């Protein structure tokens, strides 16, 4: 199932042939630098199966990102329930991403995320999308800012699923983007 296409990318559901890539990105120390754990093969497989199921059932989750030129899977980008009920209201949608390091630095995440924000606001009619990252994850924060998302300092939080053994990963910054802001950005960039 292909969800979206951009100039260079295809966003689609996961295939069995993507399993090695999914395992790779979930165990790579650079990719997972701002997470308190690396996933084993079994844990990565379980997560991939859950993501595939959610995409099929709801249409929302973290889609495989494929490079059109080579048909190679690179990682994921997607829209998902933020699932932080004590921090964000129920029904809050987040945008997130993760790519294998060999694909970093080419603007792929920004390209995929822009297509997903168009989808979120123009097709799904969402009013807002959020994103959050560990406070010093400059790569992800830079993507959020390139997308036009704005930091909500009052919404910064200590992530409840980060264990106390990793205090340097607890503090997260929150970025928001409202549909009207996204539409205004698209109009001004096409003028």
CB of 77 within 8 A of CB of 60? Answer: no
Structural domains of the chain, ranges and CATH numbers in brackets? 2-190 (3.40.630.30)
SS (H, E, C) 107-127: CHHHHHHHHHHHHHHHHCCCC
Q: What integer pLDDT is reported at residue 139 of this predicted model?
A: 95
CB of 111 within 8 A of CB of 99? Answer: no
Average pLDDT, the chain: 94
Q: What integer pLDDT is reported at residue 1 of this predicted model?
A: 67
d(CA 123, CA 119): 5
CB of 66 within 8 A of CB of 74? Answer: yes
pLDDT digits (tens, 9 = 90+) for 118-176: 999 999 999 999 999 999 999 999 999 999 999 999 999 999 999 999 999 999 999 99
Structure tokens at 68: 């059109």
Q: Please report, rounded to a whole number, the percentage of residues in the chain having pLDDT higher than 90.
A: 87
When pLDDT is cut at 50, 70 and 90, the band that residue 19 belongs to is very high
CB of 142 within 8 A of CB of 105? Answer: no
Q: What integer pLDDT is reported at residue 60 of this predicted model?
A: 84
Beta strands at 72-81 and 150-151: parallel, antiparallel or unpaired: unpaired
Q: What integer pLDDT is reported at residue 174 of this predicted model?
A: 98
Structure tokens at 171: 């503090």
When pLDDT is cut at 50, 70 and 90, the band that residue 187 belongs to is confident
Question: What is the Cβ-side half-sphere exposure of residue 78, based on CA atoms within 13 angstroms?
Answer: 25
Structure tokens at 89: 């209201």
pTM reported for the whole predicted model: 0.93
Inter-axis angle of helices 108-118 and 179-190, to 10 degrees?
A: 120
d(CA 134, CA 35): 9
CB of 94 within 8 A of CB of 82? Answer: yes
């Amino acid at each position: 199932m292909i969800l979206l296409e951009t100039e260079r990318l295809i966003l689609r559901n996961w295939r069995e042939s993507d399993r090695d890539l999914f395992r790779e990105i979930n165990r790579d120390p650079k990719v997972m630098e701002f997470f308190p754990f690396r996933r084993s093969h079994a844990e990565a497989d379980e997560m991939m199966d859950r993501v595939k199921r959610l995409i099929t059932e709801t249409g929302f989750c973290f889609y495989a990102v494929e490079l059109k030129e080579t048909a190679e899977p690179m990682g994921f980008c997607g829209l998902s329930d933020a699932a932080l009920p004590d921090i964000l209201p129920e029904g809050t949608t987040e945008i997130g991403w993760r790519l294998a390091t060999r694909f970093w630095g080419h603007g792929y995440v920004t390209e995929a995320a822009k297509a997903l924000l168009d989808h979120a606001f123009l097709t799904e009619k969402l009013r807002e999308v959020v994103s959050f990252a560990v406070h010093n994850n400059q790569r992800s924060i830079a993507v959020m800012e390139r997308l036009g998302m704005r930091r909500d300092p009052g919404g910064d939080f200590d992530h409840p699923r980060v264990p106390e053994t990793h205090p340097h990963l607890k503090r997260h910054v929150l970025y928001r983007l409202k549909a009207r802001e996204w539409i205004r950005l698209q109009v001004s960039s096409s003028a």
